[in-house]
Amino acid sequence: MSFEALNLNELLVRALSAAGYTEPTSVQAEAIPPALAGRDLMVSSRTGSGKTASFMLPALMRVLAAREQAAAERKAAGVEAAPAPRPERGTERFGDRPSRGAPQQAKGPRVLVLAPTRELALQVAKAASDYGRFVPGLRVATVVGGVPYGAQLAALRGPLDILIATPGRLIDHLGSGKCRLDQIEMLVLDEADRMLDMGFIDDIRLIVDATPAKRQTVMYSATFSGNVGRLATDLLREPQRIEATSQTESHSDIEQRLHWADDFEHKNALLDHILTERDLDQAVVFTSTQRDADWLADRLHEMGHSVASLHGGMPQGRRNRVLQGLRSKHLRVLVATDVAARGIDVPTISHVINYGLPMKEEDYVHRIGRTGRAGRSGLAVTLAERRDSGMIHRIQRYTTQRMPVATIAGLEPKRAEPPKPFDRPVRPGGKSFGPRPAGKPFKPAGKTFSKAGPRPAR
Ligand code: AMP
């Protein structure tokens, strides 16, 4: 299938060819036609599958349609072409210079994308600029926390096509009356499950209430069970469900490996060895806490690696510089926490290394999705100590994939591998720890975090 077959405007197809894309990915082929038809959507699709374009291209089609309609109305009214409005500070202008006839836009954006983190929001904004590079005078603004208000306020005052925001900061602007959402035609909730995990449910509902009821709403989420499902029921009208890839099918281009470490020193020795592997282009090393990320980055720096840490405790400017360093390949190793690493889209990341295990099984899937992007293959290595065995089993059940155990010559573990759940003896009383019977939904055992409240700072 080609992009032309999806009935996309020639200006968008041109931008896609310039980006080197020859055909739509499966989520794009499945989601774009109903999105263009104005349907509400519930989409599950893994990161790295091209999901951003699957909503951004229909969003840009709306912008183009509005441009054409305004131009037609002007023509019908015989109005002389007016100069394009001056861009406001903080608004990014893309595309060819608008012709003298560029229409005056209505105030307030037509499209609103809500994303859980600053990084993801900036990533989505970049996609808007890439795919919309030939859309005349396209105006995209991002409203995210951790950056000064001034430029954002100026951007919100001016004419705007697409607004990409994290819920917290957008609520601030709504509360002060500085942002209007009454022109919204299309609302996108990207990584909705993540936004709910981060405690944004009330903010999302307030934001949605400020948009017109007749809008189109598309929701992207790894799962639509529980709170996410309830939110979908409340916000969407006769949605079409799209599951582009199942959890099991995903990551076929990512090789997973598990190394058992005897102790902390052994784990560090394994990491040091992996970081010197010749086929390692760039690596993201995940830690469980911000403090571990800083500590490990310092340690690796002392060992001579070009490395930096990335976590939510850092000011936005520094986070942006670190990501830029990764993209420009000045950095070879990034030590990151889960929240900060969302939205990192650097195709040259060849290795993801789990140095500290995630707190939730879903985070593992998001972590390893940082590699194997844009059609390349990647390696996801997990370093686990015995005490991590519960989480390892939960991850394997969640992904329904085994992490093959690997060893490194000279660094083999001295302790025996922890028993697999189905190797354990049957408990007195008859209940075994064995694999769950077919058809029974899996409920993760052990520590879980409440979905209601915000997660601990990581
Ligand atoms: P996403 O899942 O939106 O984060 O996209 C993952 C990566 O795939 C990004 O680097 C995109 O630039 C790239 N991408 C998106 N659509 C296509 C396509 N149709 N063909 C090739 N690469 C694509």
Pocket flag, ligand 1, residue 374 (CB < 6 Å)? yes
Residue-wise DSSP of 259-300: EEESSHHHHHHHHHHHHT-TT--EEEEE-SSHHHHHHHHHHH
Q: How far is the CA of 49 from the centre of ligand 1 (A)?
A: 6
Q: What is the C-alpha separation between 174 and 249, in angstroms, rounded? A: 41
For residue 436, what pLDDT band results from cuts at 50, 70 and 90?
Answer: very low
* pLDDT at 437 (0 to 100): 37
Main-chain dihedrals φ then ψ at residue 90, nearest 5 degrees:
90, -10
User: 221-257: per-residue pLDDT in tens?
Assistant: 988 888 999 999 999 999 999 987 544 445 568 899 9
* pLDDT at 222 (0 to 100): 82
β partners of residue 336: 286, 310
Q: How far is the CA of 106 from the centre of ligand 1 (A)?
A: 31
Place of tokens 């054409």: 68
Taking the CA of residue 374 as reference, the ligand 1 atom at the shortest distance is 8
Residues, the chain, total?
458
Q: What number is the average pLDDT over the span 26-45?
A: 94
Q: What is the C-alpha separation between 145 and 166, in angstroms, rounded? A: 7
What Cα–Cα distance (Å) separates residue 220 from each residue in 129, 177, 239?
21, 28, 12
Q: The tokens of 293 are what?
A: 């990320």
Could you give the domains of the chain?
Answer: 4-243 (3.40.50.300), 251-423 (3.40.50.300)
Q: What is the C-alpha separation between 25 and 39, in angstroms, rounded? A: 20
Q: The tokens of 449 are what?
A: 């975090």
Pocket flag, ligand 1, residue 311 (CB < 6 Å)? no
Place of tokens 């957008």: 170
What is the pTM assigned to this prediction? 0.60
Total Cβ atoms within 10 A of residue 379: 21
For residue 444, what pLDDT band results from cuts at 50, 70 and 90?
Answer: very low
The pLDDT of residue 29 is above 50: yes
Q: How far is the CA of 29 from the centre of ligand 1 (A)?
A: 13
User: 279-316: per-residue pLDDT in tens?
Assistant: 899 999 999 999 999 999 999 999 999 999 999 888 88
User: 377-392: per-residue pLDDT in tens?
Assistant: 789 999 999 999 999 9
